[in-house]
Structure 1
């Protein structure tokens, strides 16, 4: 393996498991650089040497890169180094966030955070040396660790678990929708097959009888030429009806569109078949076909709807207005096809008109399924008008299956997918209605954008909560620090008021205890202490003239008396 391959393999191992984009890798590098600079700057503020500052910055950047691959190790190591090297405190924040979301198992995560806390507190106590209030120090470090490490870890873990739960629920919801669609499709297909069988057994038989009898009647020598022509029209109509019935039965049984028109013996369908409908008008009706605009190709469902609308309108005109003049207009508008069938007032209707009463209702439903609309009503001066507007590009299908409605909401939309339910319909024996399932009502609409907004709001809320906790902790720490400083500091006037030789008990009552972080490291830096004496070193409340030194007061006791007091300066 060459050097470049080793570098690429090391980079992949360092970045973390799972696919990472170039933007993600660049972001990790920038974050590591920022953490390293912050750690180095913190060390420099703590008056560290130049080499130590560089080493701390480099180490912090390395830990920032390793936090994804080794979250537990980085957290424990940062907890041990932060008390001794203050620059690693920046890493502690980042390590807590990363460990909270990447350590699998609650028990393991609790163990790692507990170990890191113990190392952090132990290092703080050892670094404090001979400070007389270790419990106070433990309390302060505990508060600091909780604010900077535990709170980010809990927030990160909650956010990760919530995202995992939402992904699982989304996948489950999509699976249920697919299963419901499959069940609905199977039920629809079974019902189609039943209807197709009934139509074939009943209507097919009747139409076959009509065709046979009209064929026999057509060759009857007693009929006149005009009567034979009329019987021939009836026979052709019955044969055409049988062919159309076979097509409808095929569509119902197989769920596919009928073959394209143009084969021998088949009537044209769609707008191409409208001239044939006009030409086959019964005797006594005058029909005019008008077309305007540039002819355009319609979607298959819309094209078939146009044919059926003209066919139904002509049938109604033949039945209810025999002998009336009929005008069929096709207007190709820029965005839709306008179909209009207008008939005038006809003659008296002979006999009872057989009507199912569902023709116009079916036209409205057929147009609605392809995104159009139908208007039907009487016209001024007598007559009737049927007009339909059908868009060019709306197929009215989902997945290419004829008659199937497009889904109300896409599957990718979060939890608001409507699931199909089989219900009886008027125009279709089995219709699909979209209903809410009970768990899906509980989730908000909005899709991926809503999820991003929700995650952003959650992150902001957690950040605000952490900031509030941090401010409270800072306030408590400030109050505590002021109290601690007061226990390790006296005014020069009090130093002057104490006389050598007074009782130790009286002197200590008039002096602070010295148990403070302000006095850490002051012992042993001044003049030699008297033999066998116990000395108390306190800081002065006033600053000295030199910026590099600090004035302090020392009181030494032996045999229950104050035997010496000295004032001197120590290096900062």
Structure 2
């Protein structure tokens, strides 16, 4: 304010240039801004920005200490030089409170910025470390799960495979026994086909458990050459049921449409499980199987009547319908099971025509094998992605904690900013009290000047007047009328305001031999 045009231009251009350079050259910018602030008052606010940028970007505590010390020296030297050059009492007074101002305007922003930057760096390092540990723990859990699956697969292969092989061998030998009737030989053939089919399915399940990869998507055919484990294999299921002595009726309505492999396999399993339940829980009952190709979905419905023969002891795991519901859910469908009017039981499944599941992805070379849980049934929890995206997903789980940390950091930053503002306000208030006290030590009014009489004792006059121990009166002595020879004079400011901004009204009291010999009132140019 009140500066020449070229000073305003230099301050504006200099502030803009230094603001752009503060990130690339934090130390030189900090020292230059603090050194020129006394000459260019427009750099006053730029100190805060330079201190913040330097505190954040200077690497190493020793370098930061040297940088801020150099900035303070430049700040102090500039203030003292400008005070002496202009002989300004106010500037000299401000230089006395320079440490407090420098601390509030430069050091505190620098410390806050440095703390904030180091805290963010440490927080990010901890989050990455936590993500790494989480990813590694999942790898260990996946390895343990894979080993357990391999153990289960080996047990199934060694126990069930052996028993099914014995059944297949004995039924094959029994089928060619000449003493059997045609009806008996046909029943034995059904048993042998069932055991062979069970062997194939067991081999498929063991492969999934051992390798974690589902069977190839190519259609699997039975010994007659017909497609199995799909809608095309449902007819073979009903034929086998009839051959075993059950009354089974198969109906198909609507225009046939291809299903996705997973949904096709799910339809086969629904019919298979429903027929098995009917054999076990309602032996001799009539069974109706209906396949409906509706416009928006494929519906398979199995209805069994009440049992017509005595129910014997059956072995049931109790998980069949639960597995069907899970299988249908995985492909985007649903399964309903319940009692119908008349005492029968109904199992109905609704399956989509679309894909409904993600295709299994091959494991990268050198990586742990992936687990795939799709149309083959839910054999365990969702697969763990061992690739780099899996690691990224693990890190993504920490986003919530990062957001909470960011919110806490913002709150901490606001608290530090509020504390800094309070400190600056306290410094300003303390400075005002200091100014008021300094003014009282060097100022009197006109009435008090008039009450002092020439000839009074020096001790009495000095007791009534301020001591003049303040920076406000520095530079006033020797600028007025010539002092009496051999006297000692006390110059005080007047409480009255001069008509001219460039002059200061003062009072002078001169003492010699312990008495007041002269008093004068005049104006001194600033």
TM-score bracket relative to the smaller structure: 0.7 to 0.9
Going from structure 1 to structure 2, the CA distance change for 1:299 and 1:78 (only over 3 Å counts) comes to farther
* Corresponding residue for residue 81 of structure 1: 36
Q: Does 1:402 align with 2:372?
A: yes
Deviates more, 1:376-385 or 1:94-103: 376-385
* Corresponding residue for residue 20 of structure 1: none
* Corresponding residue for residue 419 of structure 2: 465
RMSD: 4.0
* Corresponding residue for residue 56 of structure 2: 101
Tell me how far apart the structure 2 counterparts of residues 291 and 466 of structure 1 sit (CA, whole Å).
Answer: 80
* Corresponding residue for residue 316 of structure 2: 355
> For the Cα contact (< 8 Å) 2:288–2:304, is it kept in 1?
yes
Tell me how far apart the structure 1 counterparts of residues 394 and 8 of structure 2 sit (CA, whole Å).
Answer: 49
Tell me how far apart the structure 2 counterparts of residues 303 and 112 of structure 1 sit (CA, whole Å).
Answer: 74
* Corresponding residue for residue 567 of structure 1: 521
Q: Does 1:156 align with 2:113?
A: yes
Tell me how far 1:156 sits from its aligned partner.
Answer: 1.1
* Corresponding residue for residue 30 of structure 1: none
Tell me how far apart the structure 1 counterparts of residues 247 and 118 of structure 2 sit (CA, whole Å).
Answer: 75
SS in 2 for 1:154: helix
Tell me how far 1:164 sits from its aligned partner.
Answer: 1.0
SS in 2 for 1:446: helix
Tell me how far 1:562 sits from its aligned partner.
Answer: 4.2
* Corresponding residue for residue 248 of structure 2: 286
Given the alignment, which residue of 477, 481, 492 partners 2:435?
481
> For the Cα contact (< 8 Å) 2:331–2:355, is it kept in 1?
no
Going from structure 1 to structure 2, the CA distance change for 1:415 and 1:178 (only over 3 Å counts) comes to closer
* Greater RCO structure (CA 8 Å; 6+ sep): 2
* Corresponding residue for residue 59 of structure 1: 14
Deviates more, 1:508-517 or 1:264-273: 264-273
Give the structure with higher Rg (CA).
2
Going from structure 1 to structure 2, the CA distance change for 1:396 and 1:259 (only over 3 Å counts) comes to closer
SS in 2 for 1:208: helix
SS in 2 for 1:286: strand
Given the alignment, which residue of 388, 394, 400 partners 1:446?
400
Given the alignment, which residue of 198, 206, 217 partners 1:260?
217
Q: Does 1:491 align with 2:438?
A: no
| Cα offsets for 1:398-427 (capped at 9, x unmatched) | 97731341679x97689895xxxxxxxxxx
Given the alignment, which residue of 166, 173, 181 partners 1:209?
166
> For the Cα contact (< 8 Å) 2:282–2:311, is it kept in 1?
no
Tell me how far apart the structure 1 counterparts of residues 395 and 509 of structure 2 sit (CA, whole Å).
Answer: 75
Tell me how far apart the structure 2 counterparts of residues 272 and 472 of structure 1 sit (CA, whole Å).
Answer: 88
SS in 1 for 2:241: coil
Tell me how far apart the structure 2 counterparts of residues 531 and 338 of structure 1 sit (CA, whole Å).
Answer: 125
Tell me how far apart the structure 1 counterparts of residues 26 and 18 of structure 2 sit (CA, whole Å).
Answer: 9
Given the alignment, which residue of 274, 294, 298 partners 1:313?
274
Going from structure 1 to structure 2, the CA distance change for 1:542 and 1:131 (only over 3 Å counts) comes to closer
Tell me how far apart the structure 2 counterparts of residues 173 and 480 of structure 1 sit (CA, whole Å).
Answer: 54
Q: What does 1:224-235 correspond to in 2, within 5 Å? A: 224-235=181-192
Q: What does 1:158-173 correspond to in 2, within 5 Å? A: 158-173=115-130
Given the alignment, which residue of 452, 465, 469 partners 1:511?
465
SS in 2 for 1:514: coil
Tell me how far 1:163 sits from its aligned partner.
Answer: 0.9
Deviates more, 1:460-469 or 1:398-407: 398-407
Tell me how far apart the structure 1 counterparts of residues 256 and 452 of structure 2 sit (CA, whole Å).
Answer: 113
* Corresponding residue for residue 67 of structure 2: 112
SS in 2 for 1:281: helix
Tell me how far 1:222 sits from its aligned partner.
Answer: 3.9
Tell me how far apart the structure 2 counterparts of residues 370 and 331 of structure 1 sit (CA, whole Å).
Answer: 17
Tell me how far 1:133 sits from its aligned partner.
Answer: 12
**Structure 2 gaps, min length 5:** 362-369, 374-380
> For the Cα contact (< 8 Å) 1:396–1:405, is it kept in 2?
no
Tell me how far 1:182 sits from its aligned partner.
Answer: 1.6
| Alignment coverage as a number of residue pairs | 498
> For the Cα contact (< 8 Å) 1:369–1:396, is it kept in 2?
no
| Cα offsets for 1:122-160 (capped at 9, x unmatched) | 544555458999998676322222222222122112211
* Corresponding residue for residue 384 of structure 1: 345
Tell me how far 1:484 sits from its aligned partner.
Answer: 1.9
* Corresponding residue for residue 138 of structure 2: 181
* Corresponding residue for residue 364 of structure 2: none
Going from structure 1 to structure 2, the CA distance change for 1:330 and 1:119 (only over 3 Å counts) comes to farther
Deviates more, 1:391-400 or 1:348-357: 391-400
Going from structure 1 to structure 2, the CA distance change for 1:406 and 1:499 (only over 3 Å counts) comes to farther
Going from structure 1 to structure 2, the CA distance change for 1:478 and 1:327 (only over 3 Å counts) comes to farther
| Cα offsets for 1:381-412 (capped at 9, x unmatched) | 3123345677877648997731341679x976
* Corresponding residue for residue 430 of structure 1: none
> For the Cα contact (< 8 Å) 1:131–1:516, is it kept in 2?
no
Normalising by structure 2, we get a TM-score of 0.79
Going from structure 1 to structure 2, the CA distance change for 1:250 and 1:381 (only over 3 Å counts) comes to same
Tell me how far apart the structure 2 counterparts of residues 64 and 451 of structure 1 sit (CA, whole Å).
Answer: 30
Tell me how far 1:235 sits from its aligned partner.
Answer: 2.4
